[in-house]
Amino acid sequence: MRISLPGLWVWAARDVLRRPAEALLAGAAMASLIAVLSAGLLLARGLSCSAETVLEDAPSLVIRRLSPGGWAPVPTRALEQLRGVTGVTRASARIWGVVRWQEASVTILALTPDDAGTGDEQLTAPGPGEAITGPGSGEAITAPGPGEAITGPGSGEAITAPGPVGAITGPGSGEAITAPGPGEAITGPAFALSPGQTISLHGACERSVRVKKVLPASWGLVAHDLILLNSSDARALLGLERDAASDFAVWVFHDTEMDAIRPDLEAALPFPVQITSRRESLGAMMAQLEKASGLLTTLLIPALLALVLLTTAMARIQLGSRRDIGLLKALGWRSGDILRLHLSRALVIGLPALAVGWCLAYGAVFLSGLNWAGALLFGWSGAAPQLTLDPTGVLRILLEVGALVLAPCLAAILLPTLRSATVDAEEWLRGEES
Amino acid sequence: MRKAEGSPEMARWVRVLQQLFGATLLIFLVLTISCAKGNNATTHSGPALALKSLDATGQMQISEQDRCPVCGMQISQHVKFASAIQLDDDSSFYFCGTGCMMKAWLHPEIFLDRDKQSLRRAVAPEYFGGNYIDALSALWVAGSDVVGPMGPALVPLQDEADLETFKVRHGGKITFRLSELDDMKWKEITGKNATMRPGEKMMD
């Protein structure tokens, strides 16, 4: 007698339903394991992927002026001296900083293109592939546009994205956003504001600006919690003079120049500076991510222990079903049929558990806003940024975790079954082998 | 009793395993033959021209399909060192780096399957700015700490001022122009024969 495959699946499903509580528990345990393992790995992957995207087109070097009290504004006229250094392919001055809004610190960035008038002629908003670093060594990272971004100081907290001078384009979307005029603001999705609302920002002075547009969530890490302003508003809030900017962004053609050009840049400027390269920024951000990811691995230890327990329990159950196998053989089932039946039974529980586990992990990392992980691991406040999704990486993680959990479980079911299924039915029924 | 029931079953499993083994072997053979054919195509079917030639301003128009005719590397992976040789018929060969371009320039009959008279010009990205410049007018530096796709790079510079800056930042043992390059000079610069393909060992 050979049992058809659909017949086997129906039999397997009915067999599972004979002990629904047991099947539900096994399925829930597998789904939880898969969800916990996948979520941890997906989070680490998503963050590192987003960080790389944010930084890949960032300026080669960011130059900040040092003063005895910390960092100081840079005079925009010094741009000409930077542009005269051999190897500098592009240099721009940027206006950005931190102000208060509703008792919280927010990062503002001037997006206005070259303002007419003295002092501002050389000032440009960060362009495509530009970035802004925050104060302190390697603390903050940067700004891509159509692939631009800016990260906030210290935390690895992602901030925002300006685009080509005078306009910003969303990552992937190709949607161009024009620069805000005086009294206008473009806000990141973290603020939960809507166009038309007025916000009052406190810095060197108080200034109310009207929200012109809210950047879509798809801007994710690139434009999460940044407020884009007109340069006149940004200057007023940051207390910058008309011929001053927050820092300089410099581009070089070859990455090897990022280190080699530093002495010449320092010598070209008449004031002490701190120069941070893109490589250092990326390293600082990755170190922070790795530290946070290290915490995630502590979750894996109990999860792996649970996997061992689950596998052992399944193997035990399987060993206990020898009488059932003997009965089926007496009815004419072949060893192959029995093996397929148990495989089907395992998959009837395992596949839905796998799907549920994957969905839970994906939802937790990419749809929940990531608040739990951001607050726990990175100290983010408010809504978390949307992470970049790398389909290849995500698929690989999901398949790896699926295999990691399913393979031992299937082995725990199939190996005892294989051993039991090759014995003689009559002996089983007589109980000689039990 | 067990053997009587188990033997035909076992025999069936053995047959299944045999079939699986046979199928695996067949797939392996097919894949091996395909790979061997693919390698032959790369090595012996002659160098491929760039999909899009240099434009009117001498800029390279690199496509994903472009491969270095000397070493086979994908040009789009090494755009910062990518160089080109344009032929009299306006078509171009693109190279992963300046070293490969120079070898082809010295021995086009070996690496490009063309004679030297058919070469119109060579361009390379000037080191500091990335602008494509005529390789014959460039100042070349060897023996610096700059590394290209194939190892220590031959660096093209625009003028003497750039050369001075470059030497301060990266060193450099030998300075030359492309017009001065011959087999002897190549051997002095790289320690290898100019006719050797990457990976080949010297026979002397």
Half-sphere exposure of B78 (CA within 13 A, CB side): 26
Least-confidence region, from A32-46, B90-104, B168-182, B188-202:
B188-202
How close A86 comes to chain B (CA, Å)? 7
B203 within domain boundaries = no
| DSSP, res B138 | S
Highest mean pLDDT among A219-228, B43-52, B148-157: B148-157
pLDDT in tens, B1-14: 444 445 566 666 66
Residue contact B127–A427, C-beta within 8 A: no
Evaluated on CA atoms B26, A399, A354, A356, the torsion sign reads: negative
Q: Tell me the ipTM for this assembly.
A: 0.73
A254 contact B CB<8A: yes
| Domain match, B94 and B35 both | no
Between CA A410 and CA A129 the distance in angstroms is: 49
Please state the domain count of chain B.
Answer: 2
Residue A128 confidence class, pLDDT cut points 50, 70, 90: very low
Residue contact B170–A423, C-beta within 8 A: no
The residues on B that touch A, with CB distances below 8 Å, are 1-2, 5-6, 9, 12-13, 80, 125, 127-130, 145-147, 161-162, 165, 169-170
Which residue is closest to A263 within chain B, CA to CA?
B169
User: Which residues in chain B have Cβ-Cβ distances shorter than 8 Å to A328?
Assistant: none
Closest partner CB to B162 (pick from A86, A257, A334): A86
User: Which residues in chain B have Cβ-Cβ distances shorter than 8 Å to A253?
Assistant: 80, 125, 127-130
Identify the pLDDT of residue A382.
56
User: Which residues in chain B have Cβ-Cβ distances shorter than 8 Å to A256?
Assistant: 145-147, 170
Q: Work out whether strand B155-157 and strand B139-144 pair parallel, antiparallel, or are unpaired.
A: antiparallel
Nearest to A85 by CA among A225, A215, A228, A268: A268
Helix (H) or strand (E) holding A378, with range, is none
* Residue A289 pLDDT greater than 70, yes or no: yes
Nearest to A335 by CA among A9, A6, A2: A2
Residue contact B161–A86, C-beta within 8 A: yes
Highest mean pLDDT among A210-219, A303-312, A357-366, B190-199: A357-366
Between CA A367 and CA A389 the distance in angstroms is: 11
Residue A408 confidence class, pLDDT cut points 50, 70, 90: confident
Closest partner CB to B2 (pick from A252, A253, A423): A423
Between CA B90 and CA B80 the distance in angstroms is: 23
pLDDT in tens, A368-389: 555 566 666 666 655 556 666 6
Residue A48 confidence class, pLDDT cut points 50, 70, 90: confident
Average pLDDT, chain A: 75
Identify the pLDDT of residue A362.
82
A334 contact B CB<8A: yes
B58 within domain boundaries = no
Longest alpha-carbon distance in chain A: 102
Residue contact B1–A335, C-beta within 8 A: no
In the predicted model, what is the mean pLDDT of residues A242-257? Answer: 92
B154 within domain boundaries = yes
Least-confidence region, from A36-40, B65-69, B144-148:
A36-40
pLDDT in tens, B120-149: 999 999 999 999 999 999 999 999 999 988
Residue A406 confidence class, pLDDT cut points 50, 70, 90: confident
Structure tokens at A308: 């061992």
In the predicted model, what is the mean pLDDT of residues A207-235? Answer: 81
* Residue B101 pLDDT greater than 90, yes or no: yes
* Residue A239 pLDDT greater than 60, yes or no: yes
* Residue A363 pLDDT greater than 90, yes or no: no
Q: Where are the beta strands (DSSP E) in A188-283?
A: 198-202, 206-214, 226-229, 244-245, 247-252, 273-277
Residue contact B5–A425, C-beta within 8 A: yes
Write the CA distances from B137 to B65, B161, B174, B194, integer angstroms. 29, 14, 16, 21
Q: Where are the beta strands (DSSP E) in A170-263?
A: 176-178, 184-187, 198-202, 206-214, 226-229, 244-245, 247-252
Residue contact A423–B9, C-beta within 8 A: no
In the predicted model, what is the mean pLDDT of residues A152-173? Answer: 37
In the predicted model, what is the mean pLDDT of residues A251-275? Answer: 94
Nearest to A35 by CA among A257, A287, A355: A355
* Residue A185 pLDDT greater than 50, yes or no: yes
Q: What percent of chain B has pLDDT over 70?
A: 80
| Domain match, B130 and B36 both | no
Q: What percent of chain A has pLDDT over 70?
A: 71
* Residue A282 pLDDT greater than 60, yes or no: yes
B195 within domain boundaries = no
Q: How many CB atoms lie within 10 A of CB A297?
A: 11
pLDDT in tens, B32-43: 665 444 444 344
Residue contact B2–A86, C-beta within 8 A: no
Q: What percent of chain A has pLDDT over 90?
A: 22
B63 within domain boundaries = no
How close A60 comes to chain B (CA, Å)? 13
| Domain match, B6 and B83 both | no
Single-letter residue type at A280: E
Residue A187's contacts (CB-CB under 8 Å, 6 or more residues apart) are A193, A199, A211, A213, A214, A215, A226, A227, A228
| Domain match, B119 and B173 both | yes
Residue A153 confidence class, pLDDT cut points 50, 70, 90: very low
| Domain match, B179 and B96 both | yes
Structure tokens at A386: 């949307």
* Residue A256 pLDDT greater than 80, yes or no: yes
| Domain match, B174 and B83 both | yes
B139 within domain boundaries = yes
Per the structure, the complete domain to which residue B10 belongs is given by 1-44
Helix (H) or strand (E) holding B143, with range, is strand B139-144
Residue contact B165–A264, C-beta within 8 A: yes
Write the CA distances from A375 to A157, A223, A292, A379, A383, integer angstroms. 11, 18, 11, 4, 10
Residue A267 confidence class, pLDDT cut points 50, 70, 90: very high
In the predicted model, what is the mean pLDDT of residues A185-190? Answer: 82
Identify the pLDDT of residue A152.
34
Closest partner CB to A89 (pick from B129, B145, B165): B129
| Domain match, B84 and B183 both | yes
DSSP for A7-37, please give it: HHHHHHHHHHHHSHHHHHHHHHHHHHHHHHH
Q: A218 vs A323, which has greater pLDDT?
A: A323
How many Cβ pairs closer than 8 A exist between chain A and B? 50
Between CA B10 and CA A334 the distance in angstroms is: 11
B137 within domain boundaries = yes
| DSSP, res A88 | E
B68 within domain boundaries = no
Q: A205 vs A317, which has greater pLDDT?
A: A205
Identify the pLDDT of residue B70.
92
Q: Are B122 and B100 in contact (CB under 8 A)?
A: no
How close A424 comes to chain B (CA, Å)? 5
